[in-house]
A and B are shown apart, each in its own frame.
Chain A
Amino acid sequence: MKAFTALFQALDATTSTQAKLAAVQAWLEAVPAADAAWGVFFLTGQKLPQRVPVAELKALAASEARIPAWLFDESYEAVGDLAETIALLLPAPQQPQAVPLHQLVEGQLLGLRTLDPASRAAVVRQVWCSLPSEQRLVWNKLVTGAFRVGVSRQLVLRALAAVTGLEVGTLAHRLMGGWKPSPTAWQSLIATDQSDARTGRPYPFCLAHPLEQPVAQLGPREAWQAEWKWDGIRAQLVCRGGTVQLWSRGDELISETFPELVAAGRHAFAEDLVLDGEVLVWRDGRPAGFGELQKRLGRKQVSPRLQASLPVVLLVYDLLERAGEDLRAQPLAVRRAALEQLMRDVVLPVSPLQLAPVLAAPDWPGLAAAREQSRAEGVEGLMLKRLDSPYAVGRARGDWWKWKVVPYTVDAVLVYAQRGHGRRANLYTDYTFAVWQGDALVPFAKAYSGLSDAEMREVDAFIRANTLERFGPVRTVAPGLVFEIAFEGLQLSTRHKSGIAVRFPRMVRLRRDKPPAEADRLEDIRAMLARTAC
């Protein structure tokens, strides 16, 4: 735990990619396999679910620190991070010990969830007593499931590649599909034998960048394949050795959530293959919106009734493996031709597995016109993929672009503010915005990104000077600031006071020119919704 904590601190202390890479490499070279396995698991952003309920952990920490609950909450509000608050509050350890990471995880952490609260408290207390203060922060973050450190998965893979001499792609692939840390898993991760079976594992997803330059700068239209950009869940259907699995981009197995897709795959394909596509709720020949899809998520039991009322499809747009052969290095044009043939030959028109169409418009202006139809089509815009591009690991720049439609914007009034977390713990950075309904302001969106640091400080000062009431960490703010809020999607909702739910709201700018009275009205937003829904 000592080495891993030192790595955490080193990564936390620098913004230089080179320094981070060097720190991860040095750590990988120094630690035993069992620790490296767990470290890589956490560093690549994989999480164990919360091991101890937050309320239980808070109560335990407050009792260890000999302070009342309210004082714990005040401390938490000032620090902004639960794991850190606890680490700062606990009394110094009595007998600090050197416990290896894997031992702490396997011996203490994993079992916590199944214990009864009293035994759980005893384990946590015992770990706190044995760990030096700085290591407690990391341990607490593992316990709360909030471990996050400023390295990308890609950077960890690069460090791992440098240490093992393996390709990043090989390592990324081996880490897919619910990789479970253990010394054995570690040995097969770093094994130089490249012929390892791919059973069950999806490929690392090839990702696109947002298009920022004018589309004409991409060169001749003929070099590109254009598709709709679907607003669903990216997934790979992995059919190997008679089993079929559906994996999401979050490296999560979602076969049970969408059993009809898995069944269709089993039905259609006799050979080993891997398809890449998008899961969508599909009605009347068009996608039904992400909100509908959300109703299918997170369910372990999917009743036939739910399947009928929220019918899903997998729109397939890439073929990564066929007859056990990895096609990812082939140009997109070749993969697409093979995919079209496959879908024509073996997939029935009634199957929920369908080929995603390619847009035919012959030139850029034609595509731009198609893009304008995105909202009517229920999509987010276009995808542009270079026809000669391989299926790259991660976010290779220049081959795949997402050309989204301009989001909706609304001018709204700041009404509530809450302190940020992490590096913004002492600033009010999480805002709730309202629009007018008659002469009342109705909250309709929350946002906490999009402002520069300077603007954030300015708004923070405004909030402190214009607080009407305080409820715990939340302040009610006198209407005074208007923000332009952009968001990607909009739909009716019964769970929201405003009757409207927004997707991906973010602040575009502070409208210093607009008095609150001139902010948008709920009717305006409803009208926007009516224009888009069919």
Chain B
Amino acid sequence: MDLVTLTEAGLYCPAGDFFIDPARPVARAVITHAHADHATTGHGAVLCSAEGAGITRLRVGPQPTLEALPWGEPRQIGDARVSLHPAGHILGSAQVRIEVAGEVWVASGDYKVEPDPTCTAFEPVQAHTFITESTFGLPVYRWPAQRQVVADMASWWQRNQAADRASVLFVYALGKAQRILAGLGTLLGDDCGPIVVHGAMTALTDAYRAAGVRLPQTSLVSALPKDFPWHQALVLAPPSAQGTPWMRRFGAYADAYASGWMLVRGQRRRRAVDRGFVLSDHADWPGLLQAIEATRAQRVLVTHGQVPVLVRWLAEQGLQAGALEAGYGGEQELETAVTVPDA
């Protein structure tokens, strides 16, 4: 029996009558994490991880009742026994374990296996069937070590400071921005120079701090005086700010973009920034294979990204593999920001 099926609204568990990351309003939703393509509004009841409750609330709005479940704690929903396990993607990101009559399915949500100082590390969970994402499901995607990437960012920033120009780094407002902040804080200490953020990031960054993640001090761009020494600052902004009048205040600046896609030269050039940093909150190819292997699942259903490729690869490795195409994400790393207007 399939514990999870694909419906118009997204992944659905008939035994518990709930949806996982539904794309449209439903009575009962289990939300893996707070990225916009997973956490939508208009639901009746929402279940999410205790670690991610703060930022999930920012996303789903005040209406739904929100139940926050500690890691690993079982919760009976209908005939299904549900528990949440860390996915290592962003703060509070969860894999959903579903058990019905001894049969175990795990839906991964988005995940990465590399350690991240801003969230609990990915936990391999044994399952009969594993539903995996595949955003970077091609062997060309192999990430450099995060420590190296953050060190590169720091030296880029310092070189810009020496050349009297601001450093504008385009990153997703949720997850990536805070991961970079934490990394730079650890590397440079608290005394690393002014870090300023776009208005789209403040609420989320504060929610991270409220959840106990240690981040260096940041200021809101719009709250600073016009003659602020921008040329010393690192500016974190969502990609949508690129090329807008908002950028004018910085005067001379160098810009960069941090994303897994920056691994490919064509993508770097398409972004038209001075520098691309390869940093992703998704598993790379070895990470996907390692995670899948660790579940010991005999059956793997692939969603969210390079579906046919990963299905074929897994089938050739002797696994029972299939596609489960949900409507989200698609071919880009779609992690749009909460749009808080930058007044």
Contact = CB atoms under 8 A, between A and B. Distances in A.
A79 B140 contact: yes
A459 B140 CA distance: 27
B147 interface: no
Contacts of B267: 423, 425-426
A249 interface: no
A422 B142 contact: no
The 7 A-B residue pairs whose C-beta atoms are closest, nearest first, are A423-B269, A425-B266, A88-B140, A75-B140, A423-B266, A423-B270, A75-B138
Contacts of A65: 139
Contacts of A88: 140-142, 263-264
A78 B140 contact: yes
A14 B263 CA distance: 17
Residue of B140, B270, B275, B312 with most chain A CB atoms under a 10 A cut-off: B140
B140 A426 contact: no
A12 B138 contact: no
B313 A12 contact: no
A78 B274 CA distance: 22
B265 interface: yes
A51 interface: no
Interface in B258-287: 261, 263-267, 269-270, 272, 274-275
Given A14-B274, A65-B139, A89-B140, A422 B309 contact: no
B316 interface: yes
A13 B331 CA distance: 25
A13 B275 contact: yes
22 contacts: A12-B265, A14-B274, A15-B272, A68-B316, A71-B309, A71-B312, A74-B138, A74-B306, A75-B138, A75-B139, A78-B140, A79-B266, A81-B265, A81-B266, A420-B266, A422-B265, A423-B266, A424-B270, A425-B267, A426-B270, A427-B270, A464-B331
Nearest to B330: A464
Contact of A74 (B261, B270, B309): B309
A425 B316 contact: no
Interface string A65-108: 10110110011001111001100110000000000000000000
A404 interface: no
A413 B334 CA distance: 31
Given A68-B316, A71-B313, A421 B266 contact: yes
Given A71-B313, A74-B309, A424-B270, A84 B265 contact: yes
Interface of B: 138-142, 261, 263-267, 269-270, 272, 274-275, 306, 309, 312-313, 316, 331
Contacts of A79: 140, 264, 266
A65 B331 CA distance: 24
A452 to B, nearest CB: 13
Contacts, number: 66
Contacts of A71: 138-139, 309, 312-313
A176 to B, nearest CB: 31
Contacts of B275: 13
A155 to B, nearest CB: 18
Contacts of A85: 140
A217 B152 CA distance: 53
Given A79-B140, A89-B139, 19 more contacts: A12-B265, A67-B139, A71-B139, A78-B140, A84-B264, A88-B140, A88-B141, A89-B140, A137-B265, A421-B266, A422-B265, A422-B269, A423-B269, A424-B270, A425-B267, A426-B261, A426-B266, A426-B270, A464-B331
Contacts of A13: 274-275
Interface residues of A, number: 29
Contacts of A12: 265, 269
A78 B267 CA distance: 10
Contacts of A426: 261, 264, 266-267, 270, 331
Contacts of B331: 426, 464
A441 to B, nearest CB: 27
Contacts of B316: 68
B288 to A, nearest CB: 13
B277 to A, nearest CB: 12
A65 B138 CA distance: 12
A497 B95 CA distance: 54
A258 B295 CA distance: 69
A67 B165 CA distance: 45
A79 to B, nearest CB: 5
B140 A425 contact: no
Interface string A340-354: 000000000000000
Nearest to B137: A74
Interface string A476-499: 000000000000000000000000
Given A14-B274, A68-B316, A71-B313, A80 B266 contact: yes
A80 B274 CA distance: 21
A501 to B, nearest CB: 30
Nearest to A65: B139
Contact of B138 (A78, A422, A424, A464): A78
A85 B139 CA distance: 10
Residue of A14, A65, A78, A425 with most chain B CB atoms under a 10 A cut-off: A78
Interface string A99-130: 00000000000000000000000000000000
A525 to B, nearest CB: 34
Interface in A394-452: 420-427
A464 B272 CA distance: 23
Interface in A211-263: none
A81 B265 CA distance: 9
